[in-house]
Each structure stands twice: as structure tokens, then as C-alpha cells.
């Protein structure tokens, strides 16, 4: 029951914070905090009560970041592709969850809790790199514009093929 209370606090905090600081900074900060807390538990083992105390902010920040699971991807794709892209994203997420469910006991048996927490931190840090390099900020951007490719990318707008000029026939 108590972990659920921390998740509720994190979710409500996320609802208040996300519109103010933006999706990209919230994602980067969340992954950073979660990586630090994971490393702390993984590299500095302590008494059980200290580990429990460390997992309180972990649970709150994880729930805060969980808000973005539905908000941010919806804003990243063009409207015409949004449902398909979110379906692919959800499928990849489920495959990762299945792999994690299989790998967790194996990693615990071979490396212990410390190795699992260090691997968690490494995954979060890798996610931070990808986010820093490629995740755009969508806060305050109209939904129709958020998923559109930037002119600098050279990508065509796949969502609105009718908006592109028709090819001109040339006389031979």
C-alpha cells in the first residue's frame, strides 16, 4: 500500500511539473535521478532500511516519469501515423518488459542486486544520451506541429501527402 502512495505522489507531481519544465528536461532529469539512485544502491550497499529510504524518491521519480509514457510519444508523431507509431512503441516496450522479466532472475543469480542496479543505471544513462541527442521538446507546441518533421531534416511530411505539390510533367 505504501509504494502505491509514493506512485500517486509522483504522478501528481508529474502533472504539476511537466507543463512547467517541459517533457525533454523532465525526462532527462528523471533518468539522471533514477540512475544516481540505482548506482547508490548498486555500488554502496548498506542496511536494508537505507535501501528502502533510497527507493522512496526512486518510486516518486519513476511515477513522475511514467506520466510521459503516454504524453510524450503522442506528441512526437504526425497525426496520421500516431496510432500506428504508438502501437509499435508499445510493442517494443512490451518486448523489453518480457526480456527484463526473463533476465532479472538470471542477473540476480549471477551478479546479485548490485549488478542489477548498475545495469539499470547504465540503461538509464544510455537513455539520457539518446534523449539528449534526438528527443525534441514538445511542450507548448501545437499537436499538429509537434509531429511534423523540421525543414532542416530534409524529411517530407508523411502525414499530409496532399500538402506536397504534385510532380510537374515535363514536355519532351
Set of cell numbers at residue 154: 530534409
pLDDT (tens digit per residue) in 112-162:
999 999 999 999 999 999 999 998 888 888 877 776 665 554 444 444 433
pTM confidence score: 0.79
Q: What gap in Å lies between CA 140 and CA 98, rounded to an integer?
A: 35
> How far, rounded to the nearest angstrom, does the alpha carbon of residue 62 sit from its chain's CA centroid?
10
User: Where is pLDDT greater, at 158 or 59?
Assistant: 59
- Closest C-alpha among 35, 1, 17 to residue 124: 35
Q: Which residues contact 156 (CB under 8 A, 6 or more apart)?
A: 149, 164
- Report the C-alpha gap between 24 and 58 in whole angstroms: 19
pLDDT of 3: 76
Averaged over 89-112, what is the pLDDT?
A: 92
Look at residue 26 and tell me whether its pLDDT is greater than 50.
yes
Amino acid at each position: 500500500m505504501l509504494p502505491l502512495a509514493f506512485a500517486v505522489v509522483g504522478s501528481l507531481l508529474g502533472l504539476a511539473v511537466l507543463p512547467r519544465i517541459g517533457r525533454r528536461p523532465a525526462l532527462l532529469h528523471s533518468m539522471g535521478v533514477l540512475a544516481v539512485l540505482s548506482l547508490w544502491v548498486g555500488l554502496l550497499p548498506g542496511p536494508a532500511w537505507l535501501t528502502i529510504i533510497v527507493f522512496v524518491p526512486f518510486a516518486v521519480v519513476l511515477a513522475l516519469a511514467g506520466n510521459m509514457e503516454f504524453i510524450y510519444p503522442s506528441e512526437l508523431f504526425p497525426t496520421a501515423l500516431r496510432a500506428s507509431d504508438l502501437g509499435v512503441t508499445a510493442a517494443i516496450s512490451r518486448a523489453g518488459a518480457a526480456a527484463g522479466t526473463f533476465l532479472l532472475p538470471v542477473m540476480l543469480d549471477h551478479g546479485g542486486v548490485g549488478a542489477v542496479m548498475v545495469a539499470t543505471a547504465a540503461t538509464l544513462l544510455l537513455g539520457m544520451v539518446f534523449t539528449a541527442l534526438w528527443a525534441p521538446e514538445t511542450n507548448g507546441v501545437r499537436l499538429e506541429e509537434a509531429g511534423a518533421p523540421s525543414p532542416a531534416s530534409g524529411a517530407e511530411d508523411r502525414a499530409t501527402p496532399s500538402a506536397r505539390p504534385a510532380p510537374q510533367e515535363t514536355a519532351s
